[in-house]
Structure 1
Amino acid sequence: MRGVARTTAFLVAAAFIPIIALAQTPAGFEFQITLSKQAAQRLASSGEGITVQASYYGEPKKGAEKHVDEMGQIYLGDERIDLPGKAATARINGSGFEQAAVKWLDGPAMVNVNIFSSRKAGPDNILSCDLIDGELQVVRKSRFAVHCALIEEGMQTELKP
């Protein structure tokens, strides 16, 4: 929930570093991942990593219905990155974005990003993280942090950007 004070201390990753390659791709973007103290400790002690899954999509224009997925949307690709289990800058380079499918969109390309534990140390996800879902161009231009805590901490998640 926006505006809710957080009582958990967060470890903040280093400042954003401009990446020219991201600016040159139509779907590349970056954001900070911060961790609660408990999440940082658990990830470090277990050797667990963080996985970021970006999925690109959009609404179909009239006549493009034969190209929709099971959700009734145009699938524009996805990208997955695995990071060490610590606060970091997540850089999505846009390599999974299918530019050719944009012609079937009615409106802007969208992106949905989910962050979860990599399941190296166990079979279950242990993280609860803020969500990213919105217009790709807005996400690309925004600078924001996604906060993660252990699921057991009961953190309220926020929608970003």
Structure 2
Amino acid sequence: MTAHRFLFAIALFVAACSSRTERNNTATDSPKTTAIASDIGYYQLDGDSVVIPRVTIALQLSPKAEAKLKADKETVIVAAFFSGTPKDTTSQEFLESGEVGVKDQKIELTTARVATFENLKFARKDYDALADKDIRLLVNVYSGRRSSPDNLLDCGIVEGPMSDLRGKRLPITGKLIYGDD
């Protein structure tokens, strides 16, 4: 190999190494720019956020409840509350409820009876502050209160750890609070 080719090969190698280091620093400096999510348990990391696994709620209402909602042009709210046990158990929220909320999300349904909670995120710092990394899910269902100031529905709930509920289609049944025996 001639000296000229040798110097060219060295220069090319140094340029390639410099380019790679620059790309890596850019990805580290701005984690949001990376398209690669990493896993922590059954969660995924997206920059400084933790992505909660998908959960689908399948609502089955009684025929009377369906008829009332349709006649009144009423909606249904499916509300999901994600919470956990913190390392620091002195917070007011923990003292009042025995847990701390990490994410809440509501889905309003008009005629559909399936609500899918997906791509929900909460702060990594909140995840790191949890003593138990298996967050809990509580799902409540109620009427949208468009036709009445009061809730019209009496529905079951879904409650449990995300390790058991993640990725599943979970049923909730319901009926009218009054007149649906």
8 A Cα contact 1:28 1:140, kept in partner: yes
The question of 1:132 aligning with 2:158 is answered yes
More helix as a share of residues? 2
**For structure 1, which segment, 137-146 or 109-118, has the greater mean C-alpha deviation from structure 2 after superposition?**
137-146
The question of 1:101 aligning with 2:126 is answered yes
Find 2:114's aligned residue among 89, 94, 117: 89
Q: Quote the Cα distance in structure 1 between the aligned partners of 2:107 and 2:149.
A: 18
8 A Cα contact 2:53 2:167, kept in partner: no
Equivalence for 1:141: 167
Give the direction of change, closer, same or farther, for the CA distance of 1:35–1:98 in structure 2 (3 Å limit).
farther
Give the direction of change, closer, same or farther, for the CA distance of 1:154–1:99 in structure 2 (3 Å limit).
farther
Amino acid at match of 2:67: Q
The count of aligned residue pairs is 130
8 A Cα contact 1:74 1:101, kept in partner: no
Per the alignment, in what secondary structure is the counterpart of residue 97 of structure 2? coil
Q: Quote the Cα distance in structure 2 between the aligned partners of 1:39 and 1:111.
A: 25
What RMSD over aligned residues (CA atoms) do the two structures have, in Å? 2.3
8 A Cα contact 2:81 2:103, kept in partner: yes
Q: Quote the Cα distance in structure 2 between the aligned partners of 1:68 and 1:104.
A: 15
Find 1:65's aligned residue among 54, 73, 89: 89
8 A Cα contact 1:59 1:105, kept in partner: yes
**For structure 1, which segment, 47-56 or 141-150, has the greater mean C-alpha deviation from structure 2 after superposition?**
141-150
Give the direction of change, closer, same or farther, for the CA distance of 1:99–1:40 in structure 2 (3 Å limit).
farther
Q: Which runs of 5+ in 2 are unaligned?
A: 1-42, 45-50
Tell me how far 1:60 sits from its aligned partner. 1.9
Give the ranges of 4+ consecutive aligned residues of structure 1 lying more than 4 Å apart after TM superposition: none
User: Which has the larger Rg?
Assistant: 2
Query: What TM-score does the superposition give when structure 2 sets the normalisation length?
Result: 0.63
Cα displacement string for residues 93-121 of structure 1 (whole angstroms, at most 9, x for unaligned residues):
25354443121222210011110000000
Q: Which runs of 5+ in 1 are unaligned?
A: 1-22, 156-161
8 A Cα contact 1:30 1:89, kept in partner: yes
Give the direction of change, closer, same or farther, for the CA distance of 1:31–1:118 in structure 2 (3 Å limit).
same
Equivalence for 1:9: none
Q: Quote the Cα distance in structure 2 between the aligned partners of 1:142 and 1:28.
A: 8
Amino acid at match of 1:101: D
Tell me how far 1:31 sits from its aligned partner. 1.9
Tell me how far 1:65 sits from its aligned partner. 2.5
Find 1:49's aligned residue among 75, 85, 96: 75
Q: Quote the Cα distance in structure 2 between the aligned partners of 1:96 and 1:68.
A: 23
